[in-house]
Amino acid sequence: MSLRLIFMGTPDFSVPTLQALSAAGHEIAAVYSQPPRPAGRRGLELTKSPVHQAAEALGIEVRTPKSLKGEDEQKAFADLHADAAIVVAYGLLLPKAILEGTRRGAFNAHASLLPRWRGAAPIQRAIMAGDRETGMMVMKMDEGLDTGPVAMTEKCAIGPDMTAGELHDAMKEMGAGLMVRAMAALEAGALSLTAQGEDGATYAKKILKDETRVDWAQTAETVHNHIRGLAPFPGAWCEMPFGDKDERVKLLRSTLQKDMSGEAGTVLDDALAIACDSGAVRLTQLQRAGGKPMEARDFLRGAKLERGTRLS
């Protein structure tokens, strides 16, 4: 036996779950993904999403509506006569008619320990807040924002120097396995649901450009968490002097240097230790505009940042 599923997802984070459900023998009636987006230097080429490409490789029909609010789209969804919808970072609002458009409802794989970090950027926000643990959860969706009852949970430790990119890659594989187990339980009639509480609920708002700049007047721990929480994308940044001008540089990795101190934003040694309000961080991977990520020792070959230099 297997379930007849509709899969809804867009970025590469969603791909392992689609592939795992297909490999587990479930019938994927159709895949829904965001429409192809302009790409290339001139934006003239349309690029299919990672999920779109993965679905085509599996020979599955792909649908890319701009909205699911219309009656025609909702009828087309219901006419698939699916047992359940699986939603992993799809990116479109699901109206009630879609949530109730399958026999057993819609199930979402969410990258946090709900109710902490409901919303758009749970991986980044967990690291930026200094959380030491997070996890994947499968929940049955309702009309609220990540408020539905939880079916399964798997926890994941956040290492002290782990970046958002590293956590993202670990959790996308974890989520795939968790969803396969959840669907096996659903098929067997053994999937139990537990209502979320509201204690400790937080909102993981979308990362905005105006919050990516590093503020050296924060504590070293806050700066370190900021850097790794935004790496590799969109990337925390600061301005550094190169000759007679300042350049914007992405800061992709750092470590804490609590035994060092100085005026906030000041270079403290010859290996990119930078003073914060309290303590310091050592920058270990950086990227100049238009360049590739570089280890600090390589970066310093083209950048003379002497002790006492101020970063902004």
Annotated binding site for (6S)-5,6,7,8-tetrahydrofolate: 112-115
Task: Locate 22 and state its tokens.
Answer: 């297909």
Contact call for residues 57 and 28 (beta carbons, < 8 A): no
How far is it, in rounded angstroms, from Cα 123 to Cα 38? Answer: 26
What sections of the chain are H helices per DSSP?
Answer: 15-23, 50-57, 71-78, 96-99, 122-128, 164-187, 220-229, 296-299
Task: Locate 229 and state its tokens.
Answer: 């929480």
- Rounded to a whole number of angstroms, the CA Rg of the chain reads 22
Contact call for residues 282 and 254 (beta carbons, < 8 A): yes
How far is it, in rounded angstroms, from Cα 217 to Cα 225? Answer: 14
CB atoms within 10 A of CB 222: 20
CA distance to 32, 71, 73, 151, per residue, from 97 (Å):
15, 9, 10, 22
Task: Locate 182 and state its tokens.
Answer: 């959840």
- Residue among 158, 196, 311, 163 at smallest CA distance from 248: 311
* DSSP 8-class letter at 61: -
